Amino acid sequence: MGKIILVRHGETNMNRDNLYHGILDPKLNDTGINQAKKAYNLVKNLDYDKIFSSNLKRAYETAEILNYKNLNIEISDKIRELNFGIFEGLSYDEIFKKYPEELKIATKNWRTYNFETGESPFDLQKRAVNFINSLDKNLDYLIVTHWGIICTVLSYYFSSDLDAYWKFKINNCGIVIIEFDGNNFPILAGFNIGG
């Protein structure tokens, strides 16, 4: 039975300031580095055959800290965060003032709204699930990624499509473990560990 260990990256200043940042590329702040060091103490008790990271700095820096086996970190843009398009870099209040109509549409049609120049949660889930499904389920993977990726994967495997997308709280450096039995049946073996 293989497993997937999903870890959300550590905190950035943009996380701290509650700014929308999907494809923007801030580094970890001091809190984020400390969160990753704390998560290292948990991850070092878990085995993995391969390690993947999103191509964004905050995930890669977290992966470097967690990679106790010193394996080559494979980078993929398939597991980077949702592209928030015109909302990137803005707070909710700024979006409310600058893009009130777009915010209404984004709220009403959240599954398919692509943030004008970005992508939709539906597109994000398709990309994330295709990535997970491409992996050999007989191996164990450490995947350092983002809230959106983890929540779309959990929603896909443990509810219906995107129905549970907003129902998971994954803290920075929270660890989620999905195990697959001999029939590739997913089992949630750990949730938001250490987060």
Annotated active-site positions, please? Answer: 9, 81
Cα of first residue to Cα of last residue in the chain, in angstroms, is 25
DSSP 42-55: HHTTS--SEEEEES
- For 108, half-sphere exposure in the C-beta direction (CA atoms, 13 angstrom radius) is 6
Q: Sort 117 into a burial class: Cβ within 10 Å, 0-12 / 13-18 / 19+.
A: exposed
Edge-to-edge strands, sheet with 140-145: 73-76, 50-54, 140-145, 3-8, 175-180, 186-193
